């Protein structure tokens, strides 16, 4: 009657266990790689949705006939308006969207923006929204609807059709 394993049996079981551990490690590494990829892609989607939300709320809640679009270049507009939407708890702030050095900035102020480039004495809060290659805002005069086209640096694009809700 035998009570122990032989050396050969032990070596075979260790070899089988090693092969199983190798496959488990490869699966674990593959899962980690795909998780990093999907985390990065989901962050892009969440960031784009957050941008869309800001643009939509700003323009849909903008005050009637307050939107001023200043064409700067073929793919660049500067936009000034007053809105009911605020990122910084201001009541009816004035908002500007400006592209500078490949970045899209949202400026929020209690005073109206009058000209571009902005004056040195202007007081406003700046939010850096995204890296972009272009931004255009098109206005439909009869329906007070806007078409916003933003080309992001990562080759994606945000296109929103926004109807102004504050028609008073």
Per-chain mean pLDDT for the chain: 91
The pLDDT tens digits for 20-47 are 999 999 999 999 999 999 999 999 999 9
The pLDDT tens digits for 41-83 are 999 999 999 999 999 999 999 998 889 999 988 888 999 999 9
CA–CA gap between residue 159 and residue 150 (Å, rounded): 6
Question: Whole-prediction pTM value?
Answer: 0.79
In contact, 149 and 138? CB cutoff 8 Å: yes
Predicted local confidence at residue 167, as pLDDT: 62
Confidence of residue 10 (pLDDT cuts 50, 70, 90): very high
Half-sphere exposure of 165 (CA within 13 A, CB side): 9
Distance between alpha carbon 97 and the CA centroid of its chain, in Å? Answer: 15
Percent of the chain with pLDDT strictly greater than 70: 97
Q: Give strand ranges (E) for the chain.
A: 68-73, 76-82, 94-100, 103-109, 125-140, 145-152, 157-163
Predicted local confidence at residue 33, as pLDDT: 97
Confidence of residue 168 (pLDDT cuts 50, 70, 90): low
pLDDT exceeds cutoff 60 at 103: yes
The pLDDT tens digits for 109-142 are 999 998 888 877 778 999 999 999 999 999 987 8
């Amino acid at each position: 009657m035998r009570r122990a394993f032989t050396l050969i049996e032990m070596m075979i079981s260790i070899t089988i266990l090693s092969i199983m551990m190798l496959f488990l490690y490869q699966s674990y590494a593959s899962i980690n790689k795909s998780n990093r990829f999907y985390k990065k892609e989901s962050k892009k989607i969440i960031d784009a949705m957050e941008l869309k939300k800001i643009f939509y709320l700003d323009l849909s809640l903008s005050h009637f006939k307050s939107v001023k679009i200043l064409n700067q270049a073929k793919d660049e507009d500067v936009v000034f308006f007053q809105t009911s939407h605020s990122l910084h708890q201001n009541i009816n702030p004035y908002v500007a969207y400006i592209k500078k050095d490949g970045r899209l900035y949202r400026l929020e102020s209690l005073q109206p923006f009058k000209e571009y480039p902005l004056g040195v004495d202007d007081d406003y809060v700046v939010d850096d929204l995204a890296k972009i290659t272009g931004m255009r805002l098109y206005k439909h005069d009869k329906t007070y609807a806007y078409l916003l086209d933003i080309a992001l640096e990562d080759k994606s694009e945000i296109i929103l059709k926004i109807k102004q809700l504050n028609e008073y």
